Structure 1
Amino acid sequence: MRAKEITVTINEYGKVQTVAATKGERLKAILDRAGIVYSLPCAGAGRCGRCRIKFLKGAPIPGSFEEKFLTDEETEEGIRILCRTVVYEDCEVELLESAKEHDISALTLDDEPVNSPGKLGKPTGHDGETTRSYGIAIDLGTTTIAAALISTTSDNPGYKVFQTASCINSQRRYGADVISRISAAEDEETREALRRTVVTDIENLIKELTTAGSITYIGQNPDLKAITITGNTTMLYLLAGNDPKSLGSYPYIAEHLEKEWMLSDIILDNIPDISLTILPGISAFVGADIVAGLFTLELTDDEKFFFLDLGTNGEMAFYDGERLRVTSAAAGPVFEAGGISCGTASIPGAIDHITIDEKDRHVTTHTIGNAEPIGICGTGVMEITSELVKNHIADETGLLTDEYFDDGFPLTKDGKIRFTQQDIRNVQLAKAAIYTGAKTLLNGDIPDKVYVSGGFGSKISPENVEELRMFPREFDGKIVAIGNSALRGAAQYTACVLSGWEKETDGAAKLDLITESAVVTELATTDGFDEDYIAAMNF
């Protein structure tokens, strides 16, 4: 007996399409077949309840997951948990902001782009004349992918940023974090789907950049001469189609860390015959993105510096003028508002800055794009925690006052966006990991400068989170935000390739210096780490 056919109407942020489906089919599979881009933060494991969809008609009976994650009012409105929903009759669904991926902001390079190709000029190729070459740098992030089109000239050792672009890493439908994607990649077909997904994202960025700059990348003598890709170890494994299983379980061994050179169509199916370099990593959790960041800094005996990339794994490095020590602290997804009850990505409407008046506890918020508040992003999470402690609404142990203990502290007048006791605990776990990792890596030394990389580090003000005690006192007054250092490092290496053999050799030698001299500190095996970590949870 054939299964009954039904019709599912999908409203994708105003774009409506109708798809034929089978009674009893998972809604996720139907959206996949329709080519809908959406987010599954926990890879569809049903742990987070954040992949929500709204039924305008034909809503299925709420199940155990709706009872666990949704209020009665929400289920009555037709809201369901996307990853667990099965449809049995004709229905109409609407994607909610919680599933939307198109507007997450990505950090590119802050160099002033040149908007007119004529200002840069095309490569001349004539003897005795200045020639111009073009390359593309790519930072393959877990959440977003950032890219930059750069150019060099034969008479100038530097490079110019011509254009930047970014997109959401479409692998997010397989999970918001690397652990979820490592788990998903255990299935060979899914691993190949992960590879194809991110290859398509990268190819689209390359086409966007080259089209904007009227740069050719196909033909006998294309304008585009070089591509450099950096990213964390898991992302580069998935790009190459390697099995990342060993990265997700102890002892966390990474077998593919070396720098690789190849023609582009070995990795990128539709970008032929361009010189492509994948930058090297140091360990399973200190990847090529950190190496690229360090590539932008000078390793000399003139300055001791601390390098910190605030993310899920809080990668950090300390250079004492002679040696390079690196480690990774398991901070969790809090810096991207993961695990926060009203957390959201950095999209319009996300609360990114917060202050509380010490007299009347009036809350002032700022949202990305000045849009209506829909949730709270990473910077807002840290700032509200600091404000709660500063105004004695939470004590030094992180405990909220009785007034807010049960339901959390309201951030909006209607009380729909709140910050809960569990949210504070998650912040404490993250900040303790960063603090203890940094103290362990310093081992009594004092840095001259502290370079903080990444989107979170560029948007947070140290004075706005000083109550958190997230950084050691040795960092006071020394923090410098350096933006997307991974993309900048990839751009600098691309410039080395474009500038010729000698410069490329210099760049490769510096990469070797970083990767070969780095000594990895395993925090979990360090004496006293557990005790220091617990102590660092206090504010």
Structure 2
Amino acid sequence: MFKVTFKFESGEGVEAFAASGENLLEVARKTNVAIDAPCSGNAACGKCRVKLLSGALDSQKTRHISDEEYASGWRLACVSKITEDVEIMVPDIASAYKSRMKAADLSSPQEIKIFEDAKRDLQEAGLELKNSLSLIPVEMTAPTLDDTMPDVERLERAVAAATGIKRVRIPYSVLKELPDKLRQYEFQVQCVVRCTSRDVFVYDIYGKEETVRAGGLVVDIGTTTVSALIIDMLNGDILAKATTGNGQIRYGADVINRIIESRKPGGQKKLQDAVIKETINPLIHTMCRTSGLKTSQIYRMSVGANTTMNHLFTGINAEPLRTEPYIPAFFKTNAVFANDLGIDINPDAHIIIAPNVGSYVGGDITAGTLTSMIWNKPELSVFIDLGTNGEIVFGNQDFLMSCACSAGPAFEGGDISCGMRATDGAIEACTIDPVTMEPTFHVIGEEGQKPVGLCGSGIIDVISELFRCNMISPKGKFIREGKRIRHDKYGMGSYVLAFQEDAGSVKDVEINEVDIDNFIRAKGAIFSGIQTLISSLDFDVSMVDNVYVAGGIGSGINMKNAVGIGMLPDIPLEKFHYIGNSSLSGSYAMLLSAEAERKVYELARSITYVELSTTPGYMDEFVAACFIPHTNTALFPSVTQVEISG
């Protein structure tokens, strides 16, 4: 056995032991050391760069590391084998995807506006903001020698009398504390209950004079990022909000790689533990400290996630999703409880999972469709969710059609050499001077935060600005020279946004022609998906009245720039609306309102799923869209470039 010491730029370190010949990336995964590997260790992305400080590794030379970098100790973890004791430095950029958990400042109106808007829109649509959870006072007579009724039967009769519902269910978690609590509170209590037409379920018991808050947990399980809320189920108030990276990402940036990983021995449990034990449960404990709730006071949970994430979250085999005929284990289920999955909330908490529509259109889209409100409007609208993949819903109050675009993880920084999710250190907005070619950008984080990489909204801005300033061709190749534009020995061009001395990482923050090509394909998938859905009904983009764009790829997308690169149709900018994380807001609505929950199930049944890969003409649309802005420039009359003199 050999000792492997992982060191971080912060100065901290982690020790592990490995057998001779063991893969370095696998050692890091077992030790819970965060090293980005979007390609899941196939040596395709080059993001698992680490630096050998001492010792030696059996490591292949790859195109991602120059001769000079290799000589100075840089290696790819995925192609390195342990042969002796080693010290490895893990740079910040390699673990940027798993940056520290971020808790929201709920005193900021911007943080809660999207949820207040969702409540208002649902009420205006006639959906009542009421759920089945309630707090009821229950009074019982104390037992005597003449009244020897058991405690549980005494409580059941009192709850039935208070609610008018005959069947009362009391779980073991309540039963085991029942004798102590009834006597402590002299048989005068309050019960947190779920009431349906069939029965009453008792979640918890409190004293008559106690102030009780009944919590609910809302979670959006994104492929890259997990966001969550704790709310007061009795009034809808948001008590805490936080986000973090999905711990599964070290097994691959996309769902296919994760499904493959899950089928390895012990893989299914590893993937489930990564999202529950390493991601969701720490989020819960952080938010409970913020809100002052106990974890046991969270009595219900709702989840918005794509179809694969739903399977990996519930520990159900996802392999059939990636093999023909692409059949999921479930589209909807009401059979999951916190205790089944090891979620650190009340063990009897029911988990509401937003229903899936197809193998690649999941509950995050049905939840998002709810809060986009396109189902409640007569005019034609497009709803787009930009995440690790792109999903589109088109329609109005009469019909809804959806599709999934194979956009890849580019919108959340995957497939981009300096890409990262929208967290501290990410460039989220950028402009470039057309003459000097100097950038001006905004970095997420505290004032003075140095740039580490680019998140989705920043990538859109940079590529749009490079094209606007005549620095790249419609194919994404550099056509101007300057101090920030350089070419490697293979002739590949790149643009440097921040040189190493000004960056918060161990290398320059730059975007190269391979990155631009990857993003052009991603944006081409989105635009061709929109075109295909709309044209399949003989409609035209000019007939679209609203485009709702969702996704946590930054503080907001510059819609003009998104049109400028040909990602979104060239229609008046006032028709575009950025609605943030609609999966989270839709899951919030499902938890808060029983009618909203029913509406999401209704929407899932009514959405027609279109498989783009089998749709005639789609591939032609896609190929045509893989230029900036498009091969048919007539589709983008507003897109212009700056004339550069001299």
* Pairwise TM-score range, normalised by the shorter structure: 0.7 to 0.9
**Residues 1:224 and 2:298 aligned together:** yes
Give 1:96 shift: 1.2
Cα distance, 1:390–1:455 mapped onto 2, change above 3 Å: same
- 1:520 corresponds to which residue? 609
Equivalent position of 2:84 in the other structure = 89
Q: Residue 102 of structure 1 aligns to which amino acid in structure 2?
A: K
After superposition, the C-alpha distances for 1:106-156 in whole angstroms (9 at most, x for unaligned) are: 79792179xxxxxxxxx9754899975321111111112111001143xx5
Q: Distance in 1 between matches of 2:315 and 2:607?
A: 27
Q: Which whole-Å CA distance do the structure 2 matches of 1:351 and 1:136 have between them? A: 31
User: Which of 189, 207, 228 is equivalent to 1:147?
Assistant: 228
Identical counterparts, % of pairs:
31
In structure 2, the residue matched to 1:260 is 334
1:275-301 CA-partner distances (Å, limit 9, x unpaired):
221221100111000111112243224
User: What's the C-alpha RMSD, in Å, of the aligned pairs?
Assistant: 2.8
What CA distance in whole angstroms lies between the structure 2 residues aligned with 1:190 and 1:413? 39
Write the distance in 2 (CA, Å) between the matches of 1:525 and 1:418: 37
SS in 2 for 1:165: strand
Matched residues, number: 509
**1:56 aligns to what?**
53
SS of residue paired to 2:63: helix
Determine whether 1:349 maps to 2:344: no
Which position in structure 2 is the counterpart of 1:448?
A: 545
User: 2:368 matched to which residue of 1?
Assistant: 293
**Which of 482, 485, 493 does residue 408 from structure 1 map onto?**
493
8 Å contact from structure 1 (residues 312, 330) kept in 2:
no
CA contact (8 A) 2:550 2:578 kept: yes
Q: Give SS of 1:473's match.
A: coil
Contact kept, 8 Å, 1:104 with 1:345, in 2: the verdict is no
Instruction: Give the secondary-structure state (helix, strand or coil) at the position aligned to 2:552.
Output: helix
Superposed counterparts of 1:133-532, under 5 Å: 133-153=214-234, 159-200=236-277, 201-218=279-296, 223-268=297-342, 270-271=344-345, 272-298=347-373, 299-369=375-445, 370-401=448-479, 403=481, 406-412=491-497, 414=499, 416-443=508-535, 444=539, 446-456=543-553, 458-474=555-571, 476-496=573-593, 504=594, 506-532=595-621
What is the TM-score with the length of structure 1 in the denominator? 0.86
Matched residue SS, 1:55? strand
Q: What's the CA shift for 1:252?
A: 2.6
Q: Distance in 1 between matches of 2:451 and 2:295?
A: 42
Q: Contact (CA 8 Å) 1:105, 1:347: kept in 2 or not?
A: no
Once residues 304 and 522 of structure 1 are traced to their aligned partners in structure 2, the CA distance between those partners, rounded to angstroms, is 21
Seen in structure 2, the aligned counterparts of structure 1 residues 132 and 536 have a Cα distance that, compared at 3 Å, is same
Which residue identity is paired with 2:2?
I
Work out the CA distance in 2 between the residues paired with 1:287 and 1:276. Answer: 16
Q: 1:523 to 1:32 in 2, by over 3 A?
A: closer
What SS does the aligned partner of 1:70 have?
coil
Is the contact made by 1:194 and 1:238 (CA closer than 8 Å) also made in structure 2?
A: yes
Residue equivalent to 1:7: 3
Q: Using the alignment, how far apart are the partners of 2:428 and 2:493 within structure 1?
A: 18
Partner amino acid, structure 1, of 2:584: L
Q: Does 1:110 align with 2:202?
A: no
Shift in Å, 1:322: 0.3
CA distance in 1, matches of 2:269, 2:626: 41
- Distance in 1 between residues matched to 2:287 and 2:40, nearest whole Å: 31
Task: Tell me: CA distance 1:319–1:133, structure 2 relative to 1, closer, same or farther (3 Å).
Answer: farther
Label 1:243 to 1:8 Cα distance change in 2 as closer, same or farther (>3 A).
same
Give 1:458 deviation, angstroms: 4.7
1:315 deviation in Å? 0.4
Task: State the alpha-carbon separation in 1 of the partners of residues 315 and 230 from structure 2.
Answer: 25
Question: Within 2, Cα distance between the matches of 1:375 and 1:435?
Answer: 25
Q: Is the 8 A contact 2:427 2:443 kept in 1?
A: yes
**SS state of the match for residue 226, structure 2?**
strand
Aligned equivalents of 2:527, 2:555: Cα separation in 1:
18
Select between 171-180 and 338-347 the one with higher mean Cα deviation.
338-347
| 1:468-496 deviation digits (Å, cap 9, x = unpaired) | 12112346421111111111111111112
What is the distance in 2 between the residues matched to 1:414 and 1:284? 43
Alpha-carbon distance in 1 for matches of 2:308, 2:572: 30
Determine if contact 2:367/2:582 at 8 Å carries over to the other structure.
yes
What one-letter code is carried by the residue in structure 2 that aligns with 1:460? I
Question: Distance in 1 between the 2:32 and 2:272 partners?
Answer: 17
- 1:318-357 CA-to-partner distances (Å, cap 9, x unmatched) read 1223011111111122212322233333343333322221
SS of the residue 1:464 aligns to: helix
Shift of 1:457: 6.8
Matching residue of 1:119: none
Partner Cα distance (2:34, 2:336) in 1: 31
Partner amino acid, structure 2, of 1:451 = Y
| In structure 1, distance between residues paired with 2:100 and 2:478 | 31
C-alpha separation in 1, matches of 2:611 and 2:89: 46
Q: Is the 8 A contact 2:455 2:554 kept in 1?
A: no
Aligned partner letter, 1:242: I
**Alpha-carbon separation, structure 2, partners of 1:204 and 1:224:** 15
User: Could you tell me how far 1:231 is from its partner in structure 2?
Assistant: 0.5
Q: Secondary structure at the match of 1:456?
A: coil
Which consecutive residues of structure 1, in runs of 5 or more, have no partner in the other structure? 114-122, 497-503
The structure with the largest alpha-carbon Rg is: 2
Q: Report the residue type matching 1:252 in the other structure.
A: Y
CA contact (8 A) 1:412 1:418 kept: yes
278-287 or 331-340, larger mean C-alpha shift = 331-340
State the match for 2:203 in structure 1: none
- Taking a change above 3 Å as real, the CA distance of residues 20 and 399 of structure 1, as seen in their structure-2 partners, is closer
Q: Is the 8 A contact 1:260 1:279 kept in 2?
A: no
Instruction: Kindly indicate whether residue 38 of structure 2 is the aligned counterpart of residue 41 of structure 1.
Output: yes
Partner AA of 2:12 in structure 1: K
Runs of 5+ consecutive residues of structure 2 not aligned to the other structure: 105-109, 115-133, 139-161, 163-189, 191-210, 501-507, 630-646
Counterpart-to-counterpart distance in 1, 2:14 and 2:372: 50
CA contact (8 A) 1:379 1:460 kept: yes
Q: CA shift at 1:81, angstroms?
A: 0.9
Letter in 2 for 1:91: V
Per-residue deviation, 1:54: 1.5
Inter-partner Cα distance in structure 2 for 1:519 and 1:324: 6
Q: Output the CA distance in 1 between the equivalents of 2:617 and 2:526.
A: 15
- Give the drift of 1:303: 4.1
Moved more, 511-520 or 101-110: 101-110
**1:226: Cα distance to partner?**
0.9
Contact 1:262 1:275 in 2 (8 A): yes
